[in-house]
């Protein structure tokens, strides 16, 4: 007689999936008590719980269903496999379809004007020269964080320069770079770095119309140094480019050292590539840390230029190389002059380099060669005073200082394009900063003097105007000269509040910090962090001396204001 089935009112017990390892192996129910479950406690076992990962590939290869997919039967799986047998075909029976040409055009963030410009440039490039050999590095292709700034620039589609003023027709097409990272960096160099090396968009940057064509046509090493510079500059805001910057910079150094160690020294010195690479590496170190490593390149360039001139082969090169070498020499000499105005150290490039007293304003210098020549003479005279303070009492010294002051006041810096107001303002800004520097370094002017206050106000006003127009080139040195000559006992009001935008401070110290933040936020071609650090230390030293007797010690030694506060803190500082 069958027994009567008792219907339980309790809910059905479900399998547990988090039991201990031993209960799961014995296939018994685990009460999951911690630290030892009931089963293991009764048997005297060690209770351990672990996670076992199951992979779908293992189940599929064993002919078992994974999880709840399919049926829990090997026979069902075999029947399923038998229902769809593999079809084998020979090579003759296969018909391959031709892969269509897929262009690298992207309509994201592009306009109709971009596409029209691209089409025009492609038509111009039909008869262009073959793609030039370029560098080959093993950079990781990381397009996720290095998207090209140009809507049509990619690793496979060459970019075109927007302007072809100094670039030959055979260089109308940039090289096909080995990775999207390189294309992105080259685009960044063209669109972000080159425009901010000159104070006005009316003038072309020599970094674009001289260095870039040379790197494409003649020097893969220079091209790699430009990519390293772009990565270094971009790493200021995106640390992901730091490793790429260091790797590319190390490759360039290895190439330069290899040439210096294996080739004829004179041949290496006479090659414009060597001087250009040293210039880019110098700029790289300034942007990177602005320590004394950039001075090493400066001194090396001086020796290299001496060898070139002594060999008397300088004029034998082509005209394009002459222009390139002249710019490189001007770059190093200008860095030397502006850097020495702050520290007053011995010159690396002699005063004979700036013999020209021309009044035509140079677009890259942001002033005339005549003004740089005056600055060089002021610095030399200041260095004499620093070594022998008593020399300032001599009539010869006073006559030279007065002569330089007259030259500065009467200097008229001509701008060839009358509509280029920004370049004119930049030239006047540097002239005012040179005048303030002369009075402080040679005539013993102090921050409390009305003349110094007036010049500081004028300099800060021009800095504000240029910042408002987006100018970044050439502002570091004038801003530095005005900032270090602020009176610690009085907060100078350089402009009326109603004449300025709300975000622009009208007091000198807050405005200096505001301007430095603007330059740093816009990634100006300078090391703003170190410049700001030096300015703040000078402010702190001045404030400390005002309430102590330390200031009298400097006066007893015959030091002027610039020698007492500015020069000792500015070794290795680049302000150009």
pLDDT exceeds 60 at position 40:
yes
Q: Could you tell me the pLDDT band of residue 145, with boundaries at 50, 70 and 90?
A: very low
CB under 8 Å to 524, separation ≥6 — which residues? 196, 472, 473, 475, 476
Contact 125, 153 (CB under 8 A): no
CB under 8 Å to 263, separation ≥6 — which residues? none
CA 99 to the chain's CA centroid: 41
pLDDT exceeds 60 at position 284:
yes
Question: What's the confidence (pLDDT) of residue 300?
Answer: 84
Contact 163, 191 (CB under 8 A): no
Of residues 264 and 139, the one with the higher pLDDT is 264
* C-beta atoms surrounding 13 within 10 Å: 7
Contact 349, 333 (CB under 8 A): yes
What pLDDT digit, counting tens, does each position of 201-237 carry?
788 889 988 998 888 888 889 999 999 999 999 998 8
Average pLDDT, integer, range 386-407 = 88
DSSP assignment of 160-219 equals --S--SSS-GGGSS----SSHHHHHHHHHIIIIIGGGGSS-TTSPPHIIIIIHHHHHHT-
Query: DSSP 3-state assignment of 363?
Result: coil
Average pLDDT, integer, range 127-153 = 32
Contact 385, 442 (CB under 8 A): yes
Helix residue ranges per DSSP H, 3-152: 21-26, 38-43, 56-61, 74-83, 112-124
pLDDT exceeds 70 at position 70:
no
Burial class (CB in 10 A: 0-12, 13-18, 19+), 23: buried
- Six token digits for residue 312: 């008397």
Query: DSSP 3-state assignment of 517?
Result: helix
Contact 273, 218 (CB under 8 A): yes
- Six token digits for residue 459: 């300099």
CA 566 to the chain's CA centroid: 27
Q: What percent of the chain has pLDDT over 90?
A: 21
What pLDDT digit, counting tens, does each position of 462-516 carry?
999 999 998 989 899 999 999 999 998 888 988 888 888 888 999 999 999 999 9
Question: What's the confidence (pLDDT) of residue 218?
Answer: 82
- For the stretch 81-86, contacts whose Cβ atoms lie closer than 8 Å and that sit 24 or more positions apart, written own/partner, are none
Please report the sign of the dihedral spanned by the C-alpha atoms of residue 550, residue 552, residue 557, residue 560: positive
Question: From CA 307, how far away is CA 303, in angstroms rounded?
Answer: 6
Instruction: Read off the DSSP letter of residue 450.
Output: H
Please report the sign of the dihedral spanned by the C-alpha atoms of residue 511, residue 513, residue 518, residue 524: positive
Question: What's the confidence (pLDDT) of residue 510?
Answer: 93
List the domains of the chain with CATH numbers.
14-52 (4.10.240.10), 112-355 (no CATH)
- Six token digits for residue 133: 């050999």
Query: DSSP 3-state assignment of 362?
Result: strand
CB under 8 Å to 174, separation ≥6 — which residues? 158, 159, 160, 161, 186, 216
Question: From CA 105, how far away is CA 230, in angstroms rounded?
Answer: 24
Q: Could you tell me the pLDDT band of residue 461, with boundaries at 50, 70 and 90?
A: very high
Q: What percent of the chain has pLDDT over 70?
A: 73
H or E stretch covering 272: helix 272-288
Question: What's the confidence (pLDDT) of residue 319?
Answer: 46
Segment among 43-52, 100-109, 120-129, 565-574 with least mean pLDDT: 120-129
| Strands, E assignment, 363-506 | 367-368
Kindly report the average pLDDT of the chain as a whole number.
77
Instruction: Read off the DSSP letter of residue 260.
Output: H
Burial class (CB in 10 A: 0-12, 13-18, 19+), 333: buried
pLDDT exceeds 50 at position 149:
no
Measured between its terminal Cα atoms, the distance across the chain in Å is: 109
């Amino acid at each position: 007689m069958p027994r009567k089935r008792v219907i339980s009112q309790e809910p059905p017990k479900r399998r547990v999936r988090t039991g201990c390892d031993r209960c799961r192996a014995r296939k018994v129910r685990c009460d999951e008590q911690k630290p030892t479950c009931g089963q293991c406690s009764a048997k005297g076992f060690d209770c351990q719980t672990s996670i076992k990962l199951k992979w779908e590939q293992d189940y599929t290869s064993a002919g078992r269903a994974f999880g709840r997919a399919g049926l829990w039967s090997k026979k069902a799986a075999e029947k399923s496999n038998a229902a769809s047998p593999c079809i084998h075909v020979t090579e003759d029976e296969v018909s391959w379809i031709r892969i269509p040409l897929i262009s690298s055009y992207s309509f994201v963030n592009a306009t109709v004007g971009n596409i029209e410009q691209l089409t025009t440039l492609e038509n111009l490039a039909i008869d262009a020269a073959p793609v030039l050999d370029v560098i080959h590095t093993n950079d990781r292709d990381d397009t996720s964080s290095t998207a090209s700034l140009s809507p049509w620039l990619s690793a496979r589609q060459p970019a075109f320069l927007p302007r072809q003023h100094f670039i030959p027709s055979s260089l109308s097409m940039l090289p096909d770079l080995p990775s999207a990272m390189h294309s992105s960096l080259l685009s960044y160099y063209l669109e972000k770095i080159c425009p901010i090396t000159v104070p006005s968009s009316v003038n072309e940057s020599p970094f674009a119309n001289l260095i870039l064509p040379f790197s494409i046509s003649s020097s893969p090493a220079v091209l790699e140094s430009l990519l390293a510079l772009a990565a270094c500059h971009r790493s200021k805001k995106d640390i992901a480019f730091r490793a790429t910057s260091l790797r590319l910079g190390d490759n360039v150094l290895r190439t330069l050292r290899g040439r210096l160690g294996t080739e004829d020294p004179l041949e290496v010195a006479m090659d414009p590539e060597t001087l250009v690479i040293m210039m880019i590496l110098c700029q790289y170190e300034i942007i990177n840390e602005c320590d004394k490593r950039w001075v090493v390149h400066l001194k090396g360039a001086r020796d290299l230029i001496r060898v070139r001139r002594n060999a008397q082969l300088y004029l034998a090169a082509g005209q394009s190389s002459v222009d390139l070498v002249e710019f490189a020499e001007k770059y190093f000499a200008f860095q030397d002059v502006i850097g020495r105005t702050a520290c007053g150290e011995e010159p690396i490039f002699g005063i004979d380099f700036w013999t020209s007293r021309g009044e035509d304003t140079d677009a890259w210098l942001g002033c005339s060669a005549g003004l740089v020549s005056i600055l060089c003479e002021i610095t030399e005279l200041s260095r004499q005073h620093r070594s022998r303070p008593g020399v300032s009492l001599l009539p010869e010294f006073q006559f030279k200082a007065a002569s330089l002051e007259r030259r500065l006041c009467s200097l008229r810096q001509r701008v060839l394009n009358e509509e280029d107001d920004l370049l004119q303002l930049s030239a006047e800004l540097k002239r005012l900063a040179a005048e303030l520097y002369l009075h402080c370094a040679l005539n013993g002017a102090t921050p409390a003097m009305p003349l110094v206050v007036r010049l500081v106000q004028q300099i800060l006003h021009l800095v504000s105007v240029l910042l408002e127009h987006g100018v970044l080139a050439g502002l570091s040195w004038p801003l530095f000269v005005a900032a270090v000559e602020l009176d610690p006992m009085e907060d100078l009001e350089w402009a009326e509040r109603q004449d300025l935008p709300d975000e622009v401070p009208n007091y000198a110290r807050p405005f200096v910090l505001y301007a430095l933040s603007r330059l740093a936020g816009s990634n100006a071609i300078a090391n703003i962090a170190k410049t700001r650090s030096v300015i703040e230390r000078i402010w702190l030293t001045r404030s400390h001396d005002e309430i102590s007797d330390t200031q009298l010690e400097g006066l007893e030694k015959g030091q002027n204001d610039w020698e007492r506060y500015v020069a000792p803190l500015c070794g290795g500082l680049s302000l150009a």
